[in-house]
Structure 1
Amino acid sequence: MKSNMNRHTWWQIFDANYYSDCERFQAARCSRVAAPEEGQAPMNSYLDGTSPLNAEYLQGQLDGVISSGAAVQADSIDELAELMGVPADALVETVARYNELWDAQEDADFGKKAFCLSAIAQPPYTAVHLAGWLLCTLGGVTVNTSLQPLREDGTAIEGVYVVGNDQGGFYGTVYPETFGGLNNGKGMTFGYLVGKALAEA
């Protein structure tokens, strides 16, 4: 199977230890895929709202993604590259470099935190073909404290307000995964403030 790659998509690659890695990452909220510790409230699937996120459930989901063609799986990196439709030598070199960073427990290339690193060393290897999802924006339209959009000279555009994903300047340079519902809360809070301001005008 060959992939129709373009600049708007990318591959996420992981090995057979993906579930234990997810538990070790201690991911939370939107990034969390591992089941909670015993005694904690169960975390259910975003897909159907009821299925527990455990290793067996996630494997079933992964099998479905592979069957759909959105992911490929192989017992070697060379074979995985062929299924992905990318140069094998480049992928082998990239994976080897990533494993070096894992061994050193320091991401000298991109600055990923050490506890988020994982090895790609245990077959089978899986590559999932991904594209961007709209969650929030770190950019957007610059606004003042009254949530009015600003022109390039810094003056406000009267009668116009910007809230939700189009409003910029809230996050700075990062969307913090540890604050669940932050983007929804931002939209509702600033939407309320704009509505209140309009009602009192």
Structure 2
Amino acid sequence: MTKLGKPLTSQEIRRQRQQEAFTGREDHLDLFRRQLALAGDDPQRRFVLSIYGQGGVGKTTLLRQFRRVAGSERALIALTDHNERSVPETMARLAAELAESGGPSATLAFSPFTERHATYLKRRGELEADPDAPRGLAGFVGHAAVRLGAKALRNTVPGSDLALDLIEGPLAEQAGLWAEFVSRKLGNRDEVRLVLEPAAVLTPLFVNGLNELAAAQRVVLLFDTYENT
């Protein structure tokens, strides 16, 4: 009830609950502000801050507050959440947000990653839509827990030296079929590796862009529900 005795609206109730959930987090905000103010080589500087707690205690709300504080300090900010289900998706969202807020210099820093990621999406889309693609691969490519590596010659895919670091269980056969299909359809060795090992290929490009950006200004990356990726 309000002070006038009127029932609270659903929005007022939601705001009240969010505020109650956020109670006690002021120390976290102060810590975040202090960390932003420290030089990178300061012994007290922490580069990773982990927020934990049961669902509904205000972790997402605190991240939003972190974002507000970082923005007021003119830091570049990017946030990823449960909508990103893979490492390439997560890096792509972070790079896009940093490029949007950081202007031409940020766009240029991430251009090698952005271009390579676009090629990955294009080639993967073409392969998944190919009528010759192995049956039963719907949803497998983006979500299966596979590791495709360019290591020893064990289980070598015909036509390339990419090897399959084999997976346990029924995914092994599907992974092998997919790897062979990709190698057969794509003549470009670099693109074969890009499709089979997107995280391994794209991560160095993303890190290079991030380092270039962070050399000139502060960058804050926020991960909400990061365990999904």
Higher relative helix content: 2
Larger radius of gyration: 2
Normalising by structure 2, report the TM-score. 0.25
Normalising by structure 1, report the TM-score. 0.28
